[in-house]
A = this chain, B = another copy of it.
Amino acid sequence: MINEQYKKMLEGKSVIRQLSEFATARGKEIGYENVYDYSLGNPSVPVPERFTEVMIDLLQTRNSMELHGYSPSVGIASVKDKIAASLNKRFGMTYTGNHIFPTTGAAGALAHALRCVTKPGDEVLVPAPYFPEYSCYINLTGARMKVVPADTERFQIHMEKLEEMLTDNVAALLINTPNNPSGAVYDEKTLKELADLLVRKQREYGHDIFLISDEPYREILFDGIEAPYVSKYYDNTLSCYSYSKSLSLPGERIGYVAVNPRCRDAELISAICSQISRGIGHNCPPSIIQLAVAEVEGLTGDMAVYETNRNLLYKELTELGFECVKPGGTFYIFPKALEEDAAAFCRKALKYDLVLVPSDSFGVPGYFRMAYCIDTQKVECSLPALRKFVRENY
């Protein structure tokens, strides 16, 4: 009587996690410092000291029953107000606390947003390349995920393909900028074209089409660029955020859904999120973590190392002849493999202790992802191995 749907998910184990496990095992054989592990997007810059101070201060000064007491199911009001104020200041929005729904990271935010605006049988479009876990979040709502083929020129959105696929059955579009795995940042032109298309299709079909925007890398930007804030371009936008990357605390599972105040039924959407949470038994993120991130809202760790690593890798890869879109943010780079079969390419790289992730599970064949959230010294040490791998095989 075990549920077969969930049991089946065990077979679809994440390729990224499997490679990460391989890297750990190989590290035990030859020393982890000798494995060039580019598999996992686990932040490598320290948590800001201010966050630790705030946590300790809460524990030392607050009444324990208040501090650890029930959070309202819609989240703690003061926390929501602080997040809204910060977003308004940084991005010129008009959120109130009622538009913010605290969640267990971006994963929780996406899963709630998807459940809120789709029903079983609806289609959700996802432009490739995309984060593989999206398929889990979408499948469990009963909606169907459809992949929009990638714009491999610039890893923006392939607008013609998107328009073709944007039928009356589409309830939502799920995008991710800055993008995992490509590192591309959607520019203003992309977001304006996207919004125009969605507005036109909403009118044509006579129903809402929601834009679910996954933004955990929002603060990891290079070359001094500013990323346009997606929700400013399209009213029916649900922004899904995580503090995992900006504060380097992926284990603490904290983020939020921010519902554009111009969304139809904007405040209803956050209220419905709390009902979804009630039903899946999650209720709300831990009180102390909600309170702590609200105190450091807008702060980030020191991200400079990611840009240094991007520069080193982009230079080396292009010199070695790889086709590669220069990442504008995140800590990923997504070059074209040197043979058609990305999995075969990555298997060969393993012989040089280079752990690269083949692109197939990101919805694009023939590429590979490197997660360079590692020490710069390790990136430097990996370059000779990368050169050797290429020269001996291609």
* Complex contacts, A109 vs chain B, CB 8 Å: 281
Whether B105 pairs with A250 at a CB distance below 8 angstroms is no
For residues 46 through 74 of chain A, which have their beta carbon under 8 Å from a beta carbon of chain B? 46-47, 52, 55-56, 59-60, 64-65, 67-71
Interface-forming stretch among A90-98, A154-162, A282-290?
A282-290
CA distance A137 to B277 in the complex (A): 10
Whether B55 pairs with A59 at a CB distance below 8 angstroms is yes
Known contacts A70-B42, A279-B140, A281-B110: A6-B52 contact under CB 8 Å: no
Whether B250 pairs with A69 at a CB distance below 8 angstroms is yes
Asked if A246 CB lies within 8 Å of chain B CBs, one says no
CA distance A314 to B113 in the complex (A): 47
Whether B210 pairs with A1 at a CB distance below 8 angstroms is yes
For residues 143 through 184 of chain A, which have their beta carbon under 8 Å from a beta carbon of chain B? 171-172
Asked if A251 CB lies within 8 Å of chain B CBs, one says yes
* Complex contacts, A46 vs chain B, CB 8 Å: 64-65
Name the CB-closest residue of B to A60.
Answer: B56
A11 to chain B, nearest CB (A): 10
Known contacts A115-B3, A139-B279: A52-B64 contact under CB 8 Å: yes
CA distance A111 to B59 in the complex (A): 30
For residues 102 through 137 of chain A, which have their beta carbon under 8 Å from a beta carbon of chain B? 103-105, 107-112, 115-119, 122, 133, 136-137
Name the CB-closest residue of B to A46.
Answer: B64
Q: What 1/0 flags go to A247-284 for Cβ under 8 Å of B?
A: 01111111000000000010011011001101111111
Whether B248 pairs with A117 at a CB distance below 8 angstroms is no
CA distance A81 to B104 in the complex (A): 24
For residues 22 through 57 of chain A, which have their beta carbon under 8 Å from a beta carbon of chain B? 40, 42-44, 46-47, 52, 55-56
Asked if A225 CB lies within 8 Å of chain B CBs, one says no
A209 to chain B, nearest CB (A): 8
CA distance A67 to B136 in the complex (A): 27
CA distance A276 to B275 in the complex (A): 18
Asked if A207 CB lies within 8 Å of chain B CBs, one says yes
* Complex contacts, A278 vs chain B, CB 8 Å: 9, 133, 136
13 residue pairs bridging A and B, Cβ less than 8 Å apart? A1-B118, A2-B265, A2-B268, A4-B119, A6-B116, A7-B268, A44-B65, A52-B59, A52-B60, A55-B59, A111-B282, A136-B279, A251-B288
The 7 A-B pairs at the shortest CB distance, nearest first, are namely A111-B281, A251-B287, A68-B249, A140-B279, A107-B281, A47-B64, A9-B275
- List 12 additional contacts besides A2-B117, A253-B283; criterion CB under 8 Å: A1-B208, A2-B116, A6-B279, A9-B279, A44-B65, A47-B64, A47-B68, A108-B280, A108-B282, A111-B282, A136-B278, A252-B288
